[in-house]
Chain A
Amino acid sequence: MTKKRLLLAEDDELLASLLNFRLKKGGYEVSHSANGKEVKEYLEQQMPDIIVSDIMMPYFSGMELIAYVRKELKSQIPIIIISSAGNEENVLNAFELGANDFISKPVSPSELLVRVARELNKI
């Protein structure tokens, strides 16, 4: 069985290291990008099965990423947004742009794994 490809867009190295480790352990093929520029470059070449992205990222925010995937790439792949606590307005905007789910910081890797699996099972 082929592993599902997951793009993790997170500029916080600390969080990214932990999530990267746990998602790989969870059976996913994880590609990590630390900024929006790398994310865009990745998406120009290939499309993952799911994207997990922070809202606040340098060069290309999570919002711009959603808009780019939905409008320019015309892809409906699941996108899970990582948001800081108290950023409810951004979360609402993310949903309006087409995000499928969100998870608040501090992120529980176990919770994220459940959410990722749930989104992938919907396809």
Chain B
Amino acid sequence: MKTKNLLFQLTDLESHLNDFSAEKLTTEEAFHLKISFQHFKKNLLELVFLSKEKPNAPSNTGREKKSAIRTIEFENAYPELDIETYEAIVEHHKSYGNVLKDLKIESAMDKKDVLILKGKNNSNQKLDTQIDLSLILEECMGEMSLLRELITLFIGNALEFMGAAKLHLQSEDFEQLDLAAHKVKAGLAMMRTDGLLDLIIQIQKGCKLDKDPKHLEFLCKCFNDEFPKVKKALDNAYVELTNS
């Protein structure tokens, strides 16, 4: 198989992993899975690259190798790759979670990442829709009108973020997306909407680190999906407080 085809396979696998992440994992787990996959991809390609190097060929630096992978020159230099095993596993396992497991991806990862992946905390539990407004009401010194004002501002800010995020994702302006996320972050922390806050933190990380539009789109989609539940929970919590 040619390198180009391998890259297509990897892209395809990555796409399936994203779908799998969206359905089965929490945002934090999805983020770490993505990091793991990137390590896997990098290591696999470097392994292939090194295995095809001629014994007497001058050794390249890590940066040069990475660069070569990204260029067509690499394709020309190493047209055929022996990845039958890899293909067989991918074909066999339609569940991509098992692919990672069976490929013992942990061996290709840094110890730190393994620990993160193993010590995954279930953010879905955090993405609950229970909100306790009593602490915020305390901060408001019992002023319900202020609390209502804060909720209205919170909803406005979140909606503004959702609109801005859509635009910045379309233009792939990660700096602006990061700023939009920053703007909404304090409010999310204040209202103790941990699930949305977690997503915003991941979005900011994504904007600063890997700048992957697909992953960021996924995180923003999670935010958009989660927000109506949070809004409903806020309304319920407010009604509960007014009735008590």
Using CB atoms and an 8 Å cutoff, list the residues of chain A in contact with chain B.
11-15, 17-18, 21-22, 25, 56, 84, 105-110
Contact = CB atoms under 8 A, between A and B. Distances in A.
Interface of B: 139-141, 143, 146, 149-150, 153-154, 157, 182-183, 185-187, 189-191
Contacts of B153: 13-14, 17
Contact of A18 (B146, B157, B182, B183): B146
A18 B148 CA distance: 11
Given A14-B157, A105-B189, A22 B150 contact: no
A105 B149 CA distance: 20
> What are the 10 closest A-B residue pairs judged by CB atoms, nearest first?
A106-B189, A14-B187, A14-B153, A105-B186, A12-B186, A106-B190, A13-B153, A15-B186, A21-B146, A109-B139
Contacts of B183: 11-12
Most buried by A among B139, B143, B185: B139
A51 B186 CA distance: 20
B186 A106 contact: yes
Nearest to B189: A106
Contacts of B143: 21
A110 B182 CA distance: 23
9 contacts: A11-B183, A13-B153, A14-B150, A14-B154, A14-B187, A17-B146, A17-B149, A18-B150, A22-B139
Q: Is the interface of A mostly helix, strand, loop or mixed?
A: helix
B190 A18 contact: yes
Contacts of A109: 139
A108 B190 CA distance: 9
Contacts of A15: 186-187, 190
A14 B190 contact: yes
Contacts of A84: 182, 185-186
A13 B191 CA distance: 13
A57 to B, nearest CB: 11
B235 to A, nearest CB: 17
B161 to A, nearest CB: 12
Contacts of B191: 14
A23 to B, nearest CB: 12
Contacts of A107: 186, 190
Given A14-B157, A17-B146, A25 B141 contact: yes
A108 B183 CA distance: 18
A33 to B, nearest CB: 16
B140 A18 contact: yes
A13 B157 contact: yes
Contacts of B189: 105-106
Contacts of B190: 14-15, 18, 106-107
Given A13-B153, A14-B153, A15-B186, 9 more contacts: A12-B157, A12-B186, A12-B187, A14-B186, A18-B139, A22-B141, A106-B190, A107-B186, A110-B139
Contacts of A56: 182
B231 to A, nearest CB: 15
A106 B157 CA distance: 16
A67 to B, nearest CB: 22
Contacts of B149: 17
B155 to A, nearest CB: 10
A91 B187 CA distance: 21
